[in-house]
Each structure stands twice: as structure tokens, then as C-alpha cells.
Amino acid sequence: MFIVYIGEKYIKLTNKNNKNQKKLMWLKDSSIGRKFVMSISGLGLVFFLLFHGCMNLALVFSEEAYNWICSVLGANWYALVATIGLGVLVFIHFAYAIYLTIQNRMARGKDRYAVTAKREGVEWESENMLVLGFVVIGFIVLHLANFWFKMQFTEIMHMCGAEDFAVATFDTVYAPTDGAGMVKALFTTPIWGQVYCVLYLVWLTALWFHLRHGIWSALHTMGLNNLKWMKRVKVIGTVGATLAVGLFAIVVLYYLGYGIGMLLA
């Protein structure tokens, strides 16, 4: 009886594990599962952008307040955990985006070459999400080089004993917690500052298109796809993208005006 009981428990346990494995494989192998992962990771990144944008907005009102926020975050353990989590989200979202695109192209085969005209009812950003994603990723790398590398990464290097490690912004080295000084130098240095402002505005435009369709697509995938919610979800996508991008754009436009004022003075 004991042996039979153990055998039954083993079989039940095995069946349960198989069910769990099937659930995990569903997230990778099924179209809906892959879109679900894209939706969750994408919405997580949108919430981060809203938080980061609100933090950056402090620059317009008080550089001291922004530097205080930088000191509270910095290389503290909770900030490092959040940074790692954010990196994982970006990797998952981007990897699944490429995987989905390849799978869709393979599924359509040669038929995709037969369509040369724009499909009716399909928005431009919907057909160019991967391209927009590459643009966004490229500028994220530039953004990390301009700020994260000189702030949190520099603090990490100091904690590891490399106290002389420092990266200059236009020949000036700022303390890792002097984020306001770095932003001001990057965006207001004559000529190069204005170039950076324009580049960031181009990036934010691409990000807006990516987010507008991305938010709509994520909510659509998660069930808000009936006739009653279709138009509402599109409005939510537009408002969410405008809010997230607008918070960053305000700061860039503020320093663009500041820099132009310095040139004309």
C-alpha cells in the first residue's frame, strides 16, 4: 500500500510538473503567450518612464531637489535591485519583439512581398514598431553613457575601491550625485548642447509613436479588445505616451531655451 501510494504521489507530482512546464512553454511557444509577455514587460517599462520623468521634472523647479533625489537613489541596494530588474525587463521586451517579428515573417512567407500598398486601417507605427524600437534602444545606450555611466556606475566603482574613476562631461568632471550639473552641461554647452537637445527630441518623438501603439496593443492583448473599449484604449495609449514623453520633453525644451539664451546673451 505504501509503495502504491508513493507511486501515485509520484505520478501526480510528475503530472503537476508537466502542467507547470506547459504553462511556461505557452509563454514562449504560443502567439498569445509571447504577446502577453511583451504586454507585461512593456507596461512595466511605461511605469518606469513615468517615474523617471516625474523625477527629471524636478530639474525645472530646483536643481538642489534633483540632486537630493540622485543622492537618495545612487548606488544604494534598492536602486541597484531596481536597475537590474529594469535591465531584465528591457532585455525580455526587446528579445521577444525580435522573436515575434521573425515568427510573423516566417508565418507570412513570400506573401509579405505581394503587399506594396499601405494596409487600410493599419497605423504607421504599427508596421514599424521594431524599427522604432531600435531607434529607442540606440538612444537608451546614448542616455546611459551620458548619465548612468557617470552617476550610478561611477558610485559603484568608488564602492569597489576605484576612487579615482571619473568620466567628464565636456571636459568637466561632476560628482556622481551632481546630476543637475551634468544635465545642464550636456544640454546648454554652446552648439553641442543644442545638438544634443535636438537629438533627444528626435528620440522622444520615436518613443512617443512606439509607446502610443505599444500601450494600445498591450491593453488590447490583456482583454480590453471589445467594441466598447477599442476607442477608449486608443485614447489611453495616446494620453499615456504623451504624458510619459512630455515629462522628458519639458526638461529638454527648458534647457534648449536656456542654452539658446546663453548664445544670444
Q: What is the model's pLDDT at position 52? A: 94
Asked whether residue 13 carries a pLDDT value surpassing 50, the answer given is: no
CA dihedral (20, 215, 245, 243) positive or negative:
negative
Question: In this predicted model, what pLDDT tens digit does every residue of 140-163 receive, in sequence order?
Answer: 999 999 999 999 999 999 999 888
Rounded to whole angstroms, how far apart are CA atoms 248 and 197? 11
Question: In this predicted model, what pLDDT tens digit does every residue of 73-96 receive, in sequence order?
Answer: 888 899 999 999 999 999 999 888
CATH number of the structural domain 2-264:
1.20.1300
Rounded to whole angstroms, how far apart are CA atoms 242 and 236? 10
- Bridge partner residues of 172 (DSSP): 169
Q: What is the model's pLDDT at position 74? A: 86
Backbone angles phi, psi at 128, to 5 degrees: -130, 30
For the chain, give every domain's residue range.
2-264
Give the HSE-up count for residue 228: Cα atoms under 13 Å, Cβ half-sphere.
Answer: 2
Does 118 or 226 have the greater pLDDT score? 226
Contacts of 94 (CB under 8 A, 6+ apart): 133, 137
For the chain, percent of residues with pLDDT exceeding 70 = 83
In the structure grid, which three cell numbers stand for residue 100, read together? 515575434
Rounded to whole angstroms, how far apart are CA atoms 30 and 80? 33
As a whole number, the mean pLDDT across the chain is 83
Does 242 or 134 have the greater pLDDT score? 242
